[in-house]
A and B are shown apart, each in its own frame.
Chain A
Amino acid sequence: MKRLAVSLGAALFAALLGAALLELGPPAATLAPLVAGTLAQSGVTHPVTAVLLNFRGYDTLLEIAVLLIALIGLTAVARRGEAPAATAAVEPVLTTLARLAAPLMVLVAVYLLWAGAFRPGGAFQAGAVLAAAAVLLHLTRLLPAWATPGTWLRAGLAGGFLLFLAIAAALLAEGALLKYPPAQAGLLILAIESGLTVSLGLILAGLFLFLSEERR
């Protein structure tokens, strides 16, 4: 009886939601023409990258900060102590495949980073591919799990955010946060995205590698 009532209620809600969606008028304001109109000043020719890194760069800055804070919180709960050494892999075919795939994945990441300026791609996708390469190497036991991060790893993890923040702070002198001068916008965006790619790759890989227990 209760089950029937809940099902009926859910179905009614779904029907109302669908009806409400169909009733929606056209959106009052579309931002697409605005983006298309100012694309020439953004330094890149792909509208998604222009919005992410230029027009709404502040959101992206906070996003990378959130990811970094999440990873710092994770290292606090992860196990302390030396990471166990990676043992010999059991599957030679898997190991060989991982060894072949990892350099190609790094190449794809660099391509995605570069392509972000004029076609779909960008720092987040490139970072995800880098992280996937690290996870693949870890799962084939070529890369040991991470214990307490050393100086270089810390610098890599925080570097992208710090570079982004430094550029944002430097641009404050021009009057507004993250308002790139149009002449240097392309170069600044490429610098920020390069830093973000490395840091995002390390952060996303860290989510996996800091928590991982070596299979023994």
Chain B
Amino acid sequence: MSVALLFDLLLAAALLWCSWRALAAPTLQRAVVLFIVFGLLMTLAWARLAAPDIALAEAGIGAGLTGALLLDALGALRRRGGTGEKA
């Protein structure tokens, strides 16, 4: 088994694990952080698939801006009296 294949398999497993953990996370904050990690791993996956254009867009918009928006929304939820957690 070559190193590249091993890395790809590891990446795919990490993506699946991350997405599952993000969906099943007990708190919203953990879910948001896992979503950002998922976006960064996805960037790696696009780069491995030889699609650097999509990797750039995913890193900038998917992981960066969406993550910032979600974190800000979480902060706004908390300030408004909600705990920002699932009921």
Using a CB–CB distance below 8 Å, which chain B residues touch chain A? 52-53, 55-57, 60-61, 64-65, 68-69, 72, 75-76, 79
Contact = CB atoms under 8 A, between A and B. Distances in A.
B53 A48 contact: yes
User: What is the predominant secondary structure among interface residues of chain B facing chain A?
Assistant: helix
B60 to A, nearest CB: 3
Chain A, interface size: which category?
20 to 34
Contacts of B57: 124-125, 128
19 contacts: A48-B53, A124-B57, A124-B61, A125-B53, A125-B57, A128-B57, A128-B60, A128-B61, A128-B65, A131-B65, A132-B64, A135-B68, A204-B61, A208-B65, A208-B69, A208-B72, A211-B72, A213-B76, A215-B79
A139 B79 contact: no
A139 B76 CA distance: 13
A125 B55 CA distance: 10
Interface of A: 48, 112, 120-122, 124-125, 128-129, 131-132, 135, 139, 204, 207-208, 211-213, 215
